[in-house]
């Protein structure tokens, strides 16, 4: 049998979608672990933030992979959506999507775009100022200017303290992330070809737990800082 394949097949692209999804979920777990430290101890949070912010492996390797994953994932997600729209030129007069698939699975583009909007805000809030301080102003010390204290904890608290609108936006975004992951977690296993009668039910349960617990954790951190300062 000769090969008819030219470039990446639809499945090949879907696999990259799933792999970037996996990496983003791993990143969420790591990010939440550090955020949680801010609830326990300001010092611990400062130490770990400084380590993550200045470690060459994190900054030079993991951060570029992360940026690639986010960009590939949303650009490709939007392109997939466009292609899938093209695959049915005349729409049905009557279509009962809810009869056979969950809302989450049918609206990944909506939950995804909401998360993207949040990411834009988040970049503006944290990432751009961080890059500016470290790589443009060249201040790698991590100190609050004019003091002997790390700035990370202060910056985090500052974003939530007395900022109800930001906290509400934050909560809405994480509900959207939760909806995205309620379908996405288990879906990515199927995309890379994993489906077993024994373990797929467990993956689905683990996925539901992950999809609810992780966003709930982020919301908790925001609420703690909003309410306790």
Partner 1 sequence: MDNMNLTLKIWRQKNAQDKGKMTDYNVTGISEHMSFLEMMDVLNEQLINSGDEPVAFDHDCREGICGSCSMFINGEAHGPVKGTTTCQLHMRSFSDGDTIYIEPFRAKAFPVIKDLIVDRSAFDRIQHAGGYISINTSGNTQDANATPIPKENADLAMDAAMCIGCGACVATCKNSSAMLFVGAKVSQYALLPQGQVESKMRAQNMVAQMDAEGFGNCTNTGACMVECPKGIDLSNIARLNRELLSGSLT
Which of 33, 141, 190, 228 touches partner 1 (CB under 8 A)? 190
For position 201 contacting partner 1 by CB under 8 A, the verdict is no
Which residue in 37, 115, 133, 182 binds ligand HEM (CB under 6 A)? 115
User: What token pair was written down for 40?
Assistant: 């326990």
Helix (H) or strand (E) holding 26, with range, is helix 10-40
b/e 8-40 (16+ beta carbons within 10 angstroms → b): eeeeebbbebbbbbbbbbeebeeebebbbbbee
Do 207 and 181 meet the contact criterion of CB atoms below 8 Å apart?
Answer: yes
Quick one: CA dihedral 68, 175, 188, 49, positive or negative? positive
* Residue 179 in the binding site for ligand HEM (CB under 6 A): no
Binding track, positions 193-222, relative to ligand HEM; x by CB under 6 A = ------------------------------
**106: which 2 tokens?**
């049918």
Q: In this structure, what DSSP letter does residue 41 have?
A: -
Q: What's the CA gap between 103 and 101, in Å, rounded? A: 7
Distance CA 15, CA 36 (A): 31
Q: Which does 136 bind (CB under 5 to 8 A by kind): partner 1, ligand HEM, none?
A: none
Interacting span for partner 1 (CB under 8 A) from 46-54, 112-120, 172-180, 188-196: 188-196
Dihedral sign computed on CA atoms, order 51, 30, 18, 217? negative
CB 103 to partner 1: min, Å: 10
Q: Does 184 bind ligand HEM (CB under 6 A)?
A: yes
Residues 136-165 that bind partner 1 (CB under 8 A): none
Interacting residues with partner 1 between 82 and 111 (CB under 8 A):
83-84, 86-97, 99-102, 105-106, 108
Contact string 2-41 vs partner 1 (x = CB under 8 A): xxxxx--xxxxxxx--------------------------
Binding site for partner 1 (CB under 8 A): 1-6, 9-15, 80, 83-84, 86-97, 99-102, 105-106, 108, 183, 186-187, 190-197, 200
């Amino acid at each position: 049998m000769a090969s008819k394949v030219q470039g990446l097949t639809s499945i090949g692209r879907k696999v990259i979608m799933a792999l970037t999804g996996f990496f983003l979920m791993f990143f969420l777990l790591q990010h939440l672990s550090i955020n949680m430290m801010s609830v326990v101890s300001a010092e611990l949070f400062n130490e770990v933030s400084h380590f993550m912010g200045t470690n060459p492996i994190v900054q030079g390797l993991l951060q570029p992979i992360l940026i690639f994953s986010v960009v590939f994932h949303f650009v490709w997600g939007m392109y997939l959506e466009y292609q899938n729209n093209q695959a049915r030129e005349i729409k049905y007069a009557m279509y009962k999507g809810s009869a056979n698939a969950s809302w989450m699975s049918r609206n990944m583009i909506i939950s995804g775009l909401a998360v993207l909007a949040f990411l834009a805000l988040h970049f503006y809030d944290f990432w751009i100022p961080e890059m500016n301080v470290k790589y443009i102003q060249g201040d790698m010390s991590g100190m609050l200017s004019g003091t002997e204290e790390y700035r990370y904890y202060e910056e985090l608290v500052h974003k939530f303290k007395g900022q109800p609108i930001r906290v509400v936006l934050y909560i809405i975004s994480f509900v959207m992330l939760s909806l995205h992951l309620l379908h996405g977690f288990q879906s990515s296993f199927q995309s890379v070809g994993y489906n077993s009668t024994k373990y797929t039910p467990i993956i689905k349960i683990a996925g539901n737990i992950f999809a609810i617990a992780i966003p709930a954790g982020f919301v908790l951190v925001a609420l703690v800082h909003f309410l306790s300062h």
